[in-house]
Amino acid sequence: MTRDKEIASGQGWQVSDVVCTAGAGDSPFEEEHRGFCVAAVTEGTFRYRTREGTAMLAPGAILLGNPGTCYECGHEHGAGDRCLSFHFSPAYMERVVADVPGARRLGFTGPRLPPLPALAPLLAEAEAARETGDTDAFEEIGLRIAAAAVTASSDAADAGRAPGRRDQKRVAEAVRLIELDAGRPLSLADLASSAATSPYHFLRTFRQVAGMTPYQFLLRTRLHRAAVRLRTSDTAISTIAFDAGFNDLSTFNRRFRREMGEAPGAYRAGRTGRR
Instruction: Answer with the residue of higher pLDDT: 263 or 168.
Output: 263
Which of 155, 182, 213 is where one domain is finished? 155
Q: What is the pLDDT of residues 14-52, one digit of tens each?
A: 999 999 988 878 888 899 999 999 999 999 999 999 999
Do 178 and 150 share a structural domain?
Answer: no
- How many Å from the N-terminal Cα to the C-terminal Cα in the chain? 34
d(CA 76, CA 166): 11
Q: What is the pLDDT of residues 107-127, one digit of tens each?
A: 999 999 988 888 888 999 899
Q: Which residues of 117-128 are buried (b: 16+ CB within 10 A; e: fewer)?
A: eebbbbbbbbbb
Q: What is the pLDDT of residues 231-266, one digit of tens each?
A: 999 999 999 999 999 988 999 999 999 889 999 999
Do 116 and 33 share a structural domain?
Answer: yes
Structural domain harbouring 252: 165-272
- Is residue 88 within 8 Å of 60, Cβ to Cβ? no
Do 221 and 263 share a structural domain?
Answer: yes
**H or E element in which residue 32 lies:** strand 31-32
In a domain, 160, yes or no: no
Which of 155, 181, 215 is where one domain is finished? 155
CATH of the domain at 140: 2.60.120.10
Do 16 and 130 share a structural domain?
Answer: yes
CATH of the domain at 175: 1.10.10.60
Do 170 and 261 share a structural domain?
Answer: yes
pLDDT at 165 over 90: no
- Is residue 260 within 8 Å of 267, Cβ to Cβ? yes
Neighbours of 30 (CB within 10 A): 9
* Percentage of the residues of the chain whose pLDDT score is greater than 70: 95
d(CA 207, CA 143): 29
Provide the number of structural domains found in the chain.
Answer: 2
**How deeply is 156 buried, as exposed, middle or buried, from its count of CB atoms within 10 A (0-12, 13-18, 19+)?**
middle
Residue type, 70: C
Do 176 and 117 share a structural domain?
Answer: no
pLDDT at 229 over 70: yes
Which of 155, 175, 204 is where one domain is finished? 155
In a domain, 87, yes or no: yes
In a domain, 255, yes or no: yes
Residues 213, 204, 83: CA angle, nearest 5 degrees: 50
Do 118 and 226 share a structural domain?
Answer: no
Verdict on whether the full-model pTM lies above 0.85: no
DSSP string, 66-114: -TT-EEEEE-TTSS-EEEEEEEE-HHHHHHHHHHSTT---SS-SSSEE-
pLDDT at 196 over 70: yes
